[in-house]
Chain A
């Protein structure tokens, strides 16, 4: 019924359109003669270009046609064959596993080699071994670590300088951590503070394994008999390698030899351990969570106590916790868990459970811990659905729980295969249809991909199998967790079915982004399930060893008790001290515009470092920056504000609300950790009003696999990018640019960098107007808009992370956030991407200019403050490299690797652990050479007008100069008004006092700074390990290769007159 209604208007419209089409164009042209049709299309394009004589772009137009012809040539040559799936998918461990297992070396003699060497960070260590017998072996390392560091040990293993499979990279060498003992502390707001972790010293032995799932079988390494070399590439911190052991698989033992199980546990005592205080744990970030859940122990209505082990901190396979029980008498015991598992609806989560370092039973290699819904439940561990008990000797006994995703190993890889094949099929289709799909065409896609229906059916049947496997893992019942899979399966299946009005395959071709590669496409929906399989969260409240007497066991409060406790909670919430924005007279008041977690860590560090000082510090969270403004009006301002966005310090300084930091005589002491550019946004007249606090960076991300497959080099400069655009476009692939990451409003960070790279200016030198008529500015803006008009880059890529993962955007500029996401949340492309310097230009001096503004926040001292000296002491402490580094580490230790502290302190940035070693140089260099945008009293208007200019040029086709002229006019009007407001101009527009447009050179005179001058291009290439193709073309024509083919636009007086004429 509804379908009829829906399709009726569609059919009417179709009819009209077909009639219109036949009348205007003639009968539909079948795809077979597409080359001709393409030519027609290009002619149309050429005509359009001809229509616009104003631009004088005849040369460029020729260039366009050339490119078009190129494309046609290749099409006719037949070089754009569909990409073969096999070339894209690398052979992985999973494919090899069967063979490797079958090829296991026999015998059970473990050969141990004593190495006793310290391997430095990023060192490549080679060790010769004599292999007695060909076959696959496990490798076990014994190692110890000097010093205490958050970084994890990771190594790549190569055999005879060859990687056996991709999974032999980034193998973790686990260590153990513990909480430092000490009384639990309660802070002034009644929250228990999170304890600090430290690493356990000592020797560790580990069989190198498949970390992604924590398979119980270690990795199989294939060896030939005879002398072989094992190469170890240390990817992280230095460690001491004691021994390497070659373990034949038959000698590797999983379960305990003869565990004493199943005896009667009558009369055994009850032992209780709190889940949030494990004796040992695998990672520093595993921690408890403070909750007000009345069902957890311990609970207090007034104070928020840490009372449960937070499931999300140890949900990744390989993370473990262990509890050491002091058993009073030798007896049989049961093991119990009081826990909550709500995240995986109707699904168990899996844990490998060891008692005293050994698995009591094979079924405990991956023990399913059932779903609990919202009720904290107690579960007694079982052994193959039978009651379980184990004999424990009196004394210390250790029970450990390790997260594992082993049951998902097969469905995961089957599903991954499906997703990869979907993306490839989409690529193949795009190769045939081109980037823009003509939906009124009947695609005979089968003629180009004959087995497409078979491929789709194969996808469907694979998905069916994945679903069945998942259902059997969840205990044979259908679970809501995987509904998405089922829906997607049906949607894919629908492509094989023709409806009345349209063919299924045409639907696929016409809406390819719904199938794969688009934001939220079916492939993307399926990929969500991948992460879902790996994550295994489990909140543990308590762990028990028990006999039959359960008297001491805590019970969940019943309804009446629960009501009472909740009422109590309500009452105590009235007296709760709000940590937000209070001012204490006798303390140094600091407002921080950051999440509370960040403030908690800062508070704890302050308590440690300022414990002996007279200085009392009151930290508050500032959820809304306007509150700062209001507090200034009210005269209730804090002394220091941290995390202030980059525009504020200038605005405050202009209106006399911020304090000039140059007044402190030891300012150079702190400035030496930054570049002069970093202070540019905070510079007003002769003062500097903030310290740069956080900085991001913009680098080029690229997909190694795709670029290699397409045979493309990574572009360094804008013209190199333009050179590869046709190749990318032919495959329907995109390029991300900063401007495509924004909505309608194109902020300064997207428009100004290119102007600066081209050597243009935003403001006139005297600050009395904008310099949109600067020839370089016009050039830059022409290029900035050409990228989207002529070269057809996408205007908007809402989610670069997803687009990059799916391969649709294999190359693009993105920031720190994307870097962290890709590093930690993109397991499927691990090791297949890299970073390079941002796109740039080579200037007349041969320097490589790839600048972007990087500073994201600053810290200020308010003019109203009466404790400026103390505030400065604090700022000096806060922005010193060591404190910045420590703060970043503390954050990661508590909350996980994803918590990145993006310090602007260059000396700290060089040492931070969240940047991989191989990326460090590129990123630090990018931040060092960053150029910031100078501020102006009317900068907000200039920013808007630049954005408007871009929008009107790209969307409405306004000529660049006209749009810029209009924007200049509008900006200058506001600039004049603002300058009059601040008494730089009188009412008639005469200069009363010149506005100082501060430059980097001015700031450099204020103190010592890190040099921020760009490097020579050859030097840049050298650090990238590349050699120039030929001598660098530095002649006039060489500068801006892009404009070599066009007449360089010159600015003459006419356009100036024009500007003024229009204004009057």
Chain B
């Protein structure tokens, strides 16, 4: 008893909140405190929604009534009975991902590489210009492109082609199934200079100049060799980041078709991708459980693609 009062008396001027003022590395409390905000955000906005989606994908959920467990029914239906998915959605999505992903990725790298060679101020300006399409948001973009590809004679493209006598009657660019996919690809590639592009630009700028000098001494004779042997290996983390971002955006930018055509489903499913198919089932056909299964498949697709990217650009650590 006496001893305890002694202890208290010894440090009377230090209130509890002033104790441990400095966070000490490695202490459990410190780790929890620093990780906490991120962990909470990650939990509530990523883990739980994804978890719920995965759970829902094993249920029958018609958007209104209480979900009922249905095992892997949704997945069976998806691969055996969903005609639209197999005939249109999957090919469209893969085509979209294969074209927009790699093409956008290569474009990102080339543009970043070229920008890295000019002075600081023009580089910033150009980078902003290239980056802005991805910022403007899909809807704004669709508005711009809708004017360009408008189906009447006043659409910019129709007007231009007609004025020069290339075509005689206006072409229904976005309602004709023949053209919709092409236009979707074009628009998506155009807007693919996103965060990945910025990271690559910074990656190229951060490559140690000494490496190039060493390269010259060792006999690098062209710019191409420089890229292949020095630039790319030196910026692998940024390349990986860019690749993952490209894949994710290629898979998830599929909604552009619905925005352009103004209807879900797109005319004769010509521009139907996973995203619009999910929306169709979730909100138009009231198959929320099935839509969840679709989104799980989409997630797996994305995951596998990024594994491929990892294989190419992954570093050991």
Question: B84's closest neighbor in chain A, by CB?
Answer: A970
Least CB distance from A443 to B in Å reads 15
> Complex Cα distance A878/B142, Å?
40
* Inter-chain contacts of A970 with B (CB < 8 A): 83
A520 to B150, CA, bound (A): 14
Q: Are A948 and B153 in contact (CB under 8 A)?
A: no
CA A15 to CA B269, docked complex, whole Å: 39
**What 0/1 pattern do residues 4 to 42 of B give for CB contact below 8 A with A?**
000000000000000000000000000000000000000
**Cα distance, A519 to B267, chains bound together (Å):** 24
Chain B stretch 31-83: residues in CB contact (< 8 A) with chain A = 60, 62-65, 77, 81, 83
User: Which residues from A are CB-within-8-Å of B263?
Assistant: 743-745
Pair B154/A14 contact, Cβ less than 8 Å: no
Residue pair A981, B62 in contact (C-beta under 8 Å): yes
Establish whether residues A657 and B165, one from each chain, have CB atoms under 8 Å apart when the complex forms.
Answer: no
User: Does A28 reach chain B (CB closer than 8 Å)?
Assistant: no
The B-contacting residues of A in range 375-417, CB under 8 angstroms, are none
Name the A residues within 8 Å of B162 (CB-CB).
Answer: 511
Q: A633-B64, A940-B285 are in contact. Are A744 and B261 (CB under 8 A)?
A: yes
Is A346 part of the contact surface with B, judged by Cβ < 8 Å? no
In the complex where A745-B267, A973-B81, A977-B77 touch, is A9 in contact with B153 (Cβ < 8 A)?
A: no
Contact A655 B284 (CB under 8 A): no
Is B310 an interface residue when CB atoms closer than 8 A count as contact?
A: no
Partner of B267, one of A6, A9, A655, A951: A951
In angstroms, how far is the closest chain B Cβ from the Cβ of A822?
21
Say yes or no for A1021: interface residue by CB 8 A criterion: no
Is A565's beta carbon under 8 Å from chain B?
no
Are B176 and A977 within 8 A (Cβ)?
Answer: no
Is B145 positioned at the interface, with any CB of A under 8 Å from its CB? no
Using an 8 Å CB-CB cutoff, how does the interface string of B220-231 with A read, 1 for contact, 0 for none?
000000000000
Q: Using CB atoms, name the residue of chain B closest to A657.
A: B64
- Write out the residue numbers on chain B whose beta carbons fall within 8 Å of the beta carbon of A7: 164
8 Å CB contact of A10 from B153, B154, B164, B283: B164
Residues on the B chain within 8 Å of A520, using CB: 152-154
- Contact check: which of B62, B77, B81, B262 meets A655 at CB < 8 Å? B62
B64–A629 CB distance below 8 A: yes
Contact of B64 among A511, A632, A796, A952 (CB under 8 A): A632
Which of B152, B262, B286 is close to A798, meaning CB atoms less than 8 Å apart? B152
Q: Which of B81, B176, B268, B283 has the largest number of chain A CB atoms within 10 A?
A: B268
Would you call B265 and A651 a contact (CB within 8 A)? no
Task: List residues 500-539 of chain A with CB under 8 A from any CB of chain B.
Answer: 511, 513-514, 518-520
Shortest beta-carbon distance, A870 to chain B, in Å? Answer: 23
Q: Which A residue sits closest to B66, measured CB to CB?
A: A633
| Residue numbers in B under 8 Å from A744 (CB-CB) | 172, 175-177, 261, 263, 267-268
Inter-chain contact B284/A940, CB cutoff 8 Å: yes
Q: Tell me, yes or no, whether A848 is within 8 Å of chain B by CB.
A: no
How distant is the Cα of A655 from the Cα of B65 in the complex, in angstroms?
7
Min CB distance B91 to A, Å, is: 17
**B124 CB to nearest chain A CB (Å):** 32
Q: How far is the CA of A745 from the CA of B172 in the complex (A)?
A: 13
B168 within 8 A of A: yes
A656: CB under 8 A from chain B?
A: yes
Q: Judge whether B65 and A626 touch: CB under 8 Å.
A: no
Interface residues as binary, A8-37 with B (CB distance below 8 Å gives 1, 0 otherwise): 011001100000000000000000000000
Min Cβ gap B279→A in Å is 10
Q: How many residues of A contact B (CB 8 A)?
A: 36
A657 / chain B contacts, CB cutoff of 8 Å: 64
The closest CB in chain B to the CB of A743 belongs to: B175
Provide the bound-state CA to CA distance between A766 and B60, in Å.
25
> Min CB distance, B177 to chain A, in Å?
8
Chain A residues whose CB sits within 8 angstroms of the CB of B65 once the complex forms: 655-656
Q: Are A977 and B62 in contact (CB under 8 A)?
A: no
Which chain A residues in 633-659 approach chain B with CB under 8 Å? 633, 651-652, 655-657
Q: Is the CB of B285 within 8 A of A6?
A: no
> How far apart are the CA atoms of A629 and B262 in the complex, in Å?
22
Distance, CA A13 to CA B167, complexed state (A): 11
Q: Flag whether A439 is at the interface (Cβ < 8 A).
A: yes
> Which chain A residues lie closer than 8 Å to B262 at the CB level?
743
Q: Is the CB of B60 within 8 A of A633?
A: no
Tell me if B311 is interfacial: C-beta within 8 Å of chain A. no
Closest residue to B70 on the A side, CB-wise?
A: A981
Tally A-B pairs: CB < 8 A.
68
Q: How far is the CB of A715 from chain B (nearest CB, A)?
A: 28
Q: Chain B: which residue is nearest A976 at the CB level?
A: B81
Task: List, in ascending order, chain A residues with CB within 8 A of B153's CB.
Answer: 513-514, 518, 520
- Taking the closest CB of chain A, its distance from the CB of B78, in whole angstroms, is 12
B164 touches A9 (CB 8 A): yes
Q: How far is the CB of A160 from chain B (nearest CB, A)?
A: 50
State the CA gap A633–B66 with chains docked (Å). 9
Q: Is the CB of A981 within 8 A of B64?
A: no
Give chain B residues whose Cβ lies under 8 Å from the Cβ of A977.
Answer: 77, 81
Q: How far does the alpha carbon of A514 sit from the alpha carbon of B261 in the complex, in Å?
A: 25
Measured between beta carbons, the chain B residues less than 8 angstroms from A514 are 153
Q: Which residues of A contact B154 (CB under 8 A)?
A: 520
List residues of chain A with CB within 8 A of the CB of B164: 6-7, 9-10
Give the residue name and chain of the B residue nearest to A795 (CB).
B172
- Please give, as numbers and ranges, the residues of chain A lying within 8 Å of B166 by CB-CB distance: 9-10, 13
Is B64 within 8 A of A951, CB to CB? no
Taking CB as reference atom, which chain A residue is nearest B162? A511
Q: Is A292 an interface residue (CB 8 A)?
A: no
Q: Is the CB of A652 within 8 A of B152?
A: no
Residue from the list A6, A439, A518, A629 in contact with B63, Cβ < 8 A: A629
Tell me which residues across on chain B come within 8 A of A6, comparing CB atoms. 163-164
How far is A10 from B168 in the complex, measured between Cα atoms in Å? Answer: 13
B290 to chain A, nearest CB (A): 10
CA distance A626 to B264 in the complex (A): 15
Q: Does A302 contact B (CB under 8 A)?
A: no
Q: Please give the distance in Å from B173's CB to the nearest CB on chain A.
A: 11
Q: Give every chain B residue within 8 A of A14 (Cβ-Cβ).
A: 165
Q: Are B60 and A981 in contact (CB under 8 A)?
A: yes
Bound Cα distance A240, B73 (Å): 76
Q: Give the complex CA separation of A633 and B289 in angstroms.
A: 14
Complex: how many Å from CA A439 to CA B64? 58
Using Cβ atoms and an 8 Å threshold, which residues of chain A touch B168? Answer: 439
- In chain B, positions 265-312 with a C-beta closer than 8 Å to chain A are 265, 267-268, 283-286
A944 CB-CB contact with B under 8 Å: yes
Min distance, Cβ A670 to any Cβ of chain B, angstroms: 26
Assembly CA distance A626 to B288 (angstroms):
13
Cβ–Cβ < 8 Å partners of B261 in chain A: 743-744
The reply to whether B83 and A973 contact each other, CB–CB distance below 8 Å, is yes
- A970 to B265: give the CA distance in the assembly, Å: 15
In the assembly, what is the distance between CA of A626 and CA of B282, in Å? 11
Q: Which of chain A's residues have a CB closer than 8 A to the CB of B265?
A: 944
- Do residues A655 and B268 form an inter-chain contact, with CB atoms below 8 A? no
Which of chain B's residues 247-270 have a Cβ closer than 8 Å to chain A?
261-263, 265, 267-268
Bound: A656/B65 CA distance, A = 7
Complex CA gap A658/B165 in Å reads: 57
**Distance of B195 from chain A, by nearest CB (Å):** 30
A520 to B, closest residue via Cβ = B154
Question: In the complex, what distance in Å separates the CA atom of A10 from the CA atom of B162?
Answer: 11
- Complex Cα–Cα for A259 and B215 (A): 100
Interchain CA distance A951-B83 in the complex, whole Å: 19
By a CB distance below 8 angstroms, the chain B residues around A511 are 162
A655 CA / B60 CA spacing, docked (Å): 12
Contacts A514-B153, A744-B176, A940-B284 given; indicate if A656 touches B268 (C-beta within 8 A). Answer: no
A-B pairs, 7 with minimum CB distance: A744-B267, A744-B175, A655-B64, A657-B64, A10-B165, A10-B164, A743-B175
Q: A520-B152, A952-B268 are in contact. List 7 more A-B contacts (CB 8 A).
A: A10-B164, A629-B63, A633-B64, A655-B63, A655-B65, A973-B83, A977-B77
Can you report 22 A-B residue pairs in the complex whose CB atoms are below 8 A from each other? A10-B164, A10-B165, A10-B166, A439-B168, A511-B162, A513-B153, A626-B283, A632-B64, A633-B63, A652-B64, A656-B64, A656-B65, A744-B176, A744-B177, A744-B267, A745-B267, A951-B267, A970-B83, A973-B81, A973-B83, A977-B81, A981-B62
